[in-house]
Structure 1
Amino acid sequence: MTSERFRSFDGTQLAILRIGSGPPVVLLHGLFSSSDMNWIKWGHAAKIADAGFEAIMLDFRVHGQSESPRDPAAYPQNVLVRDVVALIEHLGLAEYTLGGFSLGARTSLHAVAHGVLTPERLIVGGMGTAGLGEWNKRSAHFKRVIDEFDTITSDDPAYYSRQFLKSQGVDRVAARLLLDTMPDLDLAMLENVTMPVLVVCGEEDRDNGSAQELTALLPDAIYVETPGNHLMSATKPEMGDEIAAWLTSTQ
């Protein structure tokens, strides 16, 4: 495993973690998580590397080992999409697979649907139609977690999100700014996502709506179900197994 930093489009330093060698697979993590939490800790990146690929993982701004600027100017609309574009340009990638879990999947679909990135293949984990078309409703939950952080008690449904946010050491000021950069996606734009897509989702995961409905809206997608709810599915070995198998079968 190697790690490095690069400067994104606005100078913010972002961390890249890499393992393996072979065709590049760019992986994006979930909200308030990190490359380590989503891809490394549970062995998914290692499985992708063992299958003959290079796993290239980006820590989004405000996450993991990347910087967390507090200047509002560092948060234009769809800033995470711009960061991923900057990563692809920095690495000089022409042919690559793009994949993400939760926020990472959402960011990937925005980038491809808007035509700013054209990966050969796409991996969409833990994402459904509501997480794309009704994101503002979902983000309201996380804004409340930040705004009421010190008063949320253990009997509150938001308590688990509060504890996860705390455990990851996320800068709440920067995170609040970031949440306002994420617009809803017009689901009709999914017809622009024409490359092969793997939609992988936990059997109990309904956090972002229906992954099956999302699969049906994509021109060339397959749906695979793995154990767990939204957060637990990312910790189960089956997610890495299914991604590695699909990458191998579609190479």
Structure 2
Amino acid sequence: MTDYFESFDCTKLAVHRTGEGPPVVLLHGLFSSADMNWIKWGHDAKIAEAGYEAIMLDFRVHGESESPTDPDSYPQNVLVRDVAALIEHLELEDYVLGGFSLGARTSLHAVAHGVLNPSRLIVGGMGTAGLGEWNKRSAFFKRVIDEFDTIGKDDPAYYSRQFLKSQGVNRVAARLLLDTMPDLDLAMLANVTVPTLVVCGEEDRDNGSAEELAGMLPDATFVETPGNHLMSATKPEMGDVIANWLQETA
């Protein structure tokens, strides 16, 4: 089921829901979507089978949500504000928050800054570098956008260029969005005291060390699954680990 709601600035955002039970709010990766991260590979179905409702947001500029091109629609940490708006819209009080890659990064920012207070947290495909050195990662994607029409097949950025093209991302809006994401002071991870699952592909180093990240969180469980950054999200083990952890820590 897909619904829409208006965020804090009236941008219309899409929300996809699967299952019934306690809510698990799931956030997708950069230039992906709820469908690409959670639905297509059956992770939402496994969470539903575990007795939960998967509530999956399409970030602005992603999926079925709007892509405003007005710079005023992109204040600092806009995605955190969008997630907070979703929680308020659904009147959620007791919920699990989770995300993959950008979704994990957004979740950690929200909790570390005290914007959101979930009962548990799921962090997928994220390491310390993806938090504390985001500007380096952001610069890579800005180059993909700025040089979109000239990136050749022999360029390391070609795969990312093709992924943006396949997802139909509005590049003007995407460029604005990238400037809204500040680095996170890693010392603030001490504020993330809720039970946390850190799950990452065994070949995934795109965002630095997930194991190091788990070690910096007060109450974290670290699990590796097959694959690199992009492929790990498509493997059944990712959904299995999340569903099992939800049941084990209920």
* Superposed pair shares fold, TM > 0.5: yes
Partners of 1:116 and 1:167 lie apart in 2 by 33
| 1:210 equivalent in alignment to 2:209 | yes
- Displacement after TM superposition at 1:198 (Å): 0.1
The aligned residue for residue 227 of structure 1 is 226
For 2:70, give the aligned amino acid.
D
Secondary structure of the residue aligned to 1:207 is coil
- Displacement after TM superposition at 1:33 (Å): 0.1
Alignment map for 1:59-70 (pairs within 5 Å) = 59-70=58-69
| 1:189 equivalent in alignment to 2:188 | yes
Secondary structure of the residue aligned to 1:69 is coil
For 1:211, give the aligned amino acid.
A
State the 4+ residue runs in structure 1 displaced beyond 6 angstroms.
Answer: none
Alignment map for 1:1-251 (pairs within 5 Å) = 2-251=1-250
Partners of 2:223 and 2:166 lie apart in 1 by 30
Partners of 1:249 and 1:24 lie apart in 2 by 16
Give the alignment's Cα RMSD to 1 decimal: 0.2
Partners of 1:45 and 1:192 lie apart in 2 by 28
Equivalent pairs counted in the alignment come to 250
Partners of 1:235 and 1:54 lie apart in 2 by 20
- Displacement after TM superposition at 1:211 (Å): 0.2
TM-score normalised by the chain length of structure 2? 1.00
Per-residue CA deviation, residues 191-211 of structure 1 (Å, 9 max, x unaligned), is 000000000000000000000
Partners of 1:222 and 1:18 lie apart in 2 by 26
TM-score normalised by the chain length of structure 1? 0.99
Per-residue CA deviation, residues 78-123 of structure 1 (Å, 9 max, x unaligned), is 0000000000000000000000000000000000000010000000
Structure 2: gaps spanning 5 or more residues: none
Partners of 1:248 and 1:170 lie apart in 2 by 36
Structure 1: gaps spanning 5 or more residues: none
Partners of 2:55 and 2:45 lie apart in 1 by 11
For 1:119, give the aligned amino acid.
P
Secondary structure of the residue aligned to 2:149 is helix
For 1:228, give the aligned amino acid.
G
Secondary structure of the residue aligned to 1:160 is helix
Partners of 1:131 and 1:116 lie apart in 2 by 20
Partners of 2:228 and 2:113 lie apart in 1 by 29
- Displacement after TM superposition at 1:187 (Å): 0.1
Partners of 1:212 and 1:242 lie apart in 2 by 16
- Displacement after TM superposition at 1:130 (Å): 0.2
For 1:106, give the aligned amino acid.
R
Secondary structure of the residue aligned to 1:151 is coil
For 1:126, give the aligned amino acid.
G
- Displacement after TM superposition at 1:24 (Å): 0.2
